[in-house]
Amino acid sequence: MIAVWIILAVVVVLVIYVIALYNGLVQKRNRVDNSWAQIEVQLKRRRDLIPNLIETVKGYAAHERGTFEAVTQARAAAAGAQGPAQTAAAEGILSQALGRLFAVAEAYPELKANTNFLELQTQLAETEDKIAISRQVYNDTVLTFNNGIQVFPAVLLAGAFGFTRREFFEVEDAGDREVPTVSFQPTATAAPPAGDAPAPPTT
């Protein structure tokens, strides 16, 4: 009789442990989903600022159609991306296109002094900072979740409960990109330094 009670106690403890393990994994997964939702909010805000930015730059550089089209297409691709990996790739392309747009703006002092342009630039910078913070939080929660389903004994049960590894959100840092140089002046041939003039041909 005592053995039966011991077995029942062990079973109860195991059931309680499995329930606690399952609930813990659910909480970790929900934190990942919530963190991703925060990233999506900031990415949407970023994309919402872009049309006004394009229109402002158009007022000074209407001939830069290729740059505007590249930004517009990259924005559409980013809006349609699904999942962290695809979104990260699309947002990276969009960031590069925006870099070229700002490179164009560098050639127009009046545009750089435009109040609307400066405000949009500030809002974009603030949004980029929020995206970076949200990305860090998301990646931290993903790391915690992935560790949670890969350690023993959770690894024995996670698959059966439908818990699978989640993707990190890894976007190439803007500082690692080379922004193309935009020039509207023909390249002048540099004159040779004084004292280095070529010698006259020998006869």
Return the residue matching tokens 């505007």: 68
Find the helix or strand (DSSP H, E) in which 108 lies: none
> Which has the closest alpha carbon to 183: 59, 100, 114, 121?
100
Return the residue matching tokens 């990190």: 168
Q: Give the whole-angstrom CA distance, residue 169 versus residue 131.
A: 11
> Which has the closest alpha carbon to 57: 117, 13, 8, 1?
117
pLDDT at 172: 64
pLDDT at 173: 53
pLDDT in tens, the chain (203 residues): 788 888 888 889 999 999 999 999 999 999 999 999 999 999 999 999 999 999 999 999 988 999 999 999 999 999 999 999 999 999 999 999 999 999 999 999 999 899 999 999 999 999 999 999 999 999 999 999 999 999 988 898 898 889 999 999 987 654 444 433 333 333 343 344 444 444 444 44
E strands in the chain: none
Return the residue matching tokens 């159609």: 65
Query: Is the separation of the CB atoms in 157 and 18 below 8 Å?
Result: yes
Length of the chain: 203
Predicted TM-score (pTM) of this structure? 0.77
